[in-house]
Structure 1
Amino acid sequence: MLGTVVNTIAVILGAGIGLFVKKGIPERIGNSLMKGLGLCSLYIGISGTFKGEDTLIMIISIVVGIIIGEGIDIDRRVNSIVRKIESKFFGKNDKNNIAQGFISASLLFCVGSMTLVGVMNAGLLGDNTMLYTKSAMDFCSSIIFASTLGVGVLLSAIFVLIYQGGLTMLTIYAAPLLNNQVINEMTCVGSLIIIAMSLNILGITKIKLMNYIPAMFLPIVVCMFM
C-alpha cells in the first residue's frame, strides 16, 4: 500500500500547485491547455488499445460492462456525490466544473498498464518501483490538470487511494487469474475509456464515463471462457 499512498500524496501536492498556478493563467490560455490535454489523453488511449490481443474479448467486456454500469447508473451516483461536495464547499455557482475534473483526472491517473502492472508488483512482490515512477508522472500531470480543470483534480486523489488500494488487495487474492492476456485486455478496455474521456474534454461527446468502469474488470471473467 505504500506505493499507493505515495501516489495519492503526489496527486494532492501536484493539484495544490496547479490550483495555485491557475490564478495566474488567462482563461484563453487555460482553454487551450485543456484542449491540448485532451489531445494528449487521446494519444495515450489510442496507444493503449494496441495491447489488446482479442477484439472479441474487448467487445464483450465493453457491451456487458456498459449494461452493468447503466443499470447501476454509476455516473449519476458519482456526479451526485461530487455535486454535493461542490455545493457545500465551493458554492453552486462555482465556475469550475468539479465533476468533470474529478472524473477526468481519476480515469487518467487510474486507467492504464502502468497502474495495473504497478499494483500487481506491489501486491505480489512488494515492489513499489513502478508506482513510485507513476507517482512522479501523476504529480506533473496533476499540476497541469488542476490548473485547467480545477478542484476536482484534487478530489481525484481519493479515488486514486481507493482504486489502487483495492486493486492491490485484489491482486493478492486473484493472482492466478491475472496473466499477461488478462492484463493486456484490461489495458485495452481501459484505454478505450480514456479515448472516450478525451472526446469529452475536447467537447466532441458527452459520454457517461463512470458507467464504463465495470467493463475494465470483465476481461478477468471473459478470458476464463475464451
Structure 2
Amino acid sequence: MILFGSLVNGIAIVAGSLMGSILRNISEQMKDTVTKGIGLGVLVLGIQMAFKTSSFIVILISLCLGAMIGEAAGIEDKMNDFGLKLERKYAKPGSNFAEGFVTATLIFLIGSMGIIGAIESGVAKNHQTLLTKAVMDGFMSIMLTATFGVGVLFSAVPVFLYQGAIALLASVLMRYIPSELLDLLMDEISAIGGLMILAISLNIMGLTKIRVSNYLPGIIILIGIVTVQFFM
C-alpha cells in the first residue's frame, strides 16, 4: 500500500493532537516554557538541515526568488485565511487556531524527511522513514496542541495529501531520475527547508514574525536550478 506511511503519519498527528488537547488546562507559565522548548528543538533541527547544502548561493537565490513569488501570491495570507475559516467553524473566536494550524503544517511539511520517506514509499513501498517521522510528529503535535490548540489537528490533512501525492508521483516518475540527481536534490531541499525551519523556530519563541509560508515557492525554484546545473 503506497499511502500506508502517509496515512500513519496523519493518524499520529491526530492522536497526538487529541492527547495534547487534554493538556490545554496547564498553566500559562508551563505553556510558555514548553513552547520555547519546542522552538529550541526546531532551531537545532533547522541548523542541522541547513548545513547539508553544497551551494549556499543557490539556496539564497532560490529563497529570495521564492519569497517574491510567495508575497505576490499571498501564500501566507491565504493559509491564515483558511485557518481562520476553520477556526470560525470549529473553535472559539480569538483562539490560536489559525496560528496552530499554519505553524504545525509548516513544521510537519518542510524538510527532506517527509519527501524522502514519501519517495521511498512510492518507489520501494518502504515506509520506515515515514513511520519514524510519524512518531516524531505525534509527540510534536502533543506539545503544539497544548500550546496553540486544536488547529494543530487539522494539519494532518495537508500532511497526508502532500506526502501521499509525492508517493504516488514517485511511483511513476522517480524511475526516470538518475540516482545522483535524486541524492543531490534531497540534500539541497533539506538545506533550504532547514532555513525555513529556523525561521519557524524564531516565530515559535516569539523573537520574530517571519512570513515563512511565502518562502515555499523557493523549493520549486531550487529543484529547477539544481536539475539544470546537473545536466549542464
Q: Shorter-chain TM-score: which interval?
A: over 0.9
1:50-61 matched pairs, under 5 angstroms: 50-61=51-62
Equivalent residue for 1:5, pick from 4, 7, 11: 7
Amino acid at match of 2:133: K
* Identity level (%): 35
Q: Report the alpha carbon displacement of residue 225 of structure 1 after superposing the two structures with TM.
A: 2.4
Uncovered stretches (5+) of structure 1, i.e. residues with no partner:
none
Please say if 1:110 is aligned against 2:105.
no
Please say if 1:88 is aligned against 2:73.
no
Q: Report the alpha carbon displacement of residue 93 of structure 1 after superposing the two structures with TM.
A: 3.0
TM-score (norm 1): 0.93
Uncovered stretches (5+) of structure 2, i.e. residues with no partner:
none
Please say if 1:191 is aligned against 2:194.
yes
TM-score (norm 2): 0.91
Name segments (4+ residues, structure 1) moved above 3 Å: none
Match of 2:99 in 1: 100
| Counterpart secondary structure, 1:52 | coil
Please say if 1:19 is aligned against 2:18.
no
Amino acid at match of 1:87: R
Coordinate RMSD, CA, aligned: 1.4
Distance 2:200 2:75 in 1: 15
Q: Deviations over 1:136-185 (max 9, x none)?
A: 11111111111112112111111211211122233234421651111111
Q: Report the alpha carbon displacement of residue 119 of structure 1 after superposing the two structures with TM.
A: 0.8
- The alignment covers a number of residue pairs equal to 223
Equivalent residue for 1:218, pick from 208, 216, 221: 221
Distance 1:160 1:4 in 2: 8
Q: Does the 8 A contact of 2:46 with 2:197 survive in 1? A: yes
Q: Does the 8 A contact of 1:186 with 1:217 survive in 2? A: no
Q: Report the alpha carbon displacement of residue 47 of structure 1 after superposing the two structures with TM.
A: 0.8
Q: Deviations over 1:99-134 (max 9, x none)?
A: 221122112212223212111101111111111111
Distance 2:38 2:59 in 1: 26
